[in-house]
Amino acid sequence: MMNWLNTYRRYACDIHRINREVQQNPEDFILTVEKIFHSDIRQITDRILNIPVKRHIIYLSGPSSSGKTTTGMKLAEAFEKKGCHAILVSMDDFYLGKDYIRILPNGQHDFEAVEALDIPLVKKCVKQIVLEGECDIPVYDFPNSSRSGQIRHLKAEKDSVIIMEGIHALNPIFDDAVLRDYISKIYVGVKQGVKDNEDYVLTNREIRLIRRIVRDYKFRCTGPETVIHRWEDVVEGEQKNIRPYRYNSDFTLNTIHIYEPCIMKKQTVELLSQVAPDTAEGVTASHLAAALQRFEAIDEALVPSDSLMREFIGGGTYHY
């Protein structure tokens, strides 16, 4: 397969251009960005559909708050619209459980390591679904950090795609389950930051952090100070378990929505004001708040209900 790496769409991420678009017509600005992103999804879908194999496996991965969950759903929708049966599988369901995962020096279980997954079972299920058209996968009990004992039966039609989404999906440890011809790999990430000439206003990593601050407050009952405190550990895990394998991907999808600082501004600045200023987390909070204040604000009601941004701000049509 042609490797599309380095051919992902790059945007003119200049704060002055972004603010000018917002001032002129924010609704058109948002819809243009959304159309472009959906076009990228369709292009990847069309490329994969041209691969002459049945029951294709798609490994989908990306770092925290890159939007991989929504991307997986959108890919599944795009395949279905083309008449191709699509099954979405979260690799998180293959976690072994906290009783089988090593403990780090800080006393936390190492859920970020690939060994936290039942690797033989992942490979067995991939082989069965490709060659036999069906398999049983476990259902993970997240509140108790253990397997639930339940199973989910997957049955794929003759022409199907099975989208395996997870932080370890690009790890080559899973490559020998079936022939490489049956596999496509997609890496999703915020590939750009926003600049003022040559200087960054927000880096791509800071954009992901802002997404996570808003999402975790709304949906995971986690305050901004805790999110910021944990962020370096999250990034360290990404450097070890995700980024080394991004060059193995066949497709790279840039998930930045260049209007997003404008819709994130109001709620994020309010959340960041809760962080004590005389702490390390407070320094980061102050920096992010100051950067966001430079953007023109957009009413989040203008964001389409099926936008990837709804994964973070809520109010969307997808269920997570």
pLDDT digits (tens, 9 = 90+) for 85-109: 999 999 999 999 888 777 777 777 6
pLDDT digits (tens, 9 = 90+) for 247-270: 889 999 999 999 999 999 999 999
Element of type H or E holding 310: helix 310-313
Please report the pLDDT score of residue 5 as a whole number. 46
Q: How much is the average pLDDT of 166-192?
A: 93
201 vs 157: CA distance, rounded Å: 48
166 vs 160: CA distance, rounded Å: 19
- DSSP structure string for 125-164: HHHHHHHTSEEEEEEEETTTTEEEEEEEEEE--SSEEEEE
Please report the pLDDT score of residue 2 as a whole number. 47
Pairing of strands 199-202, 194-196: antiparallel
Residue 179 phi/psi, 5° resolution?
-60, 145
pLDDT digits (tens, 9 = 90+) for 296-319: 999 999 999 999 999 999 999 998
Angle at 318 between CA 289 and CA 21, to 5 degrees: 45
Residue type, 183: I
Tell me the pTM: 0.92
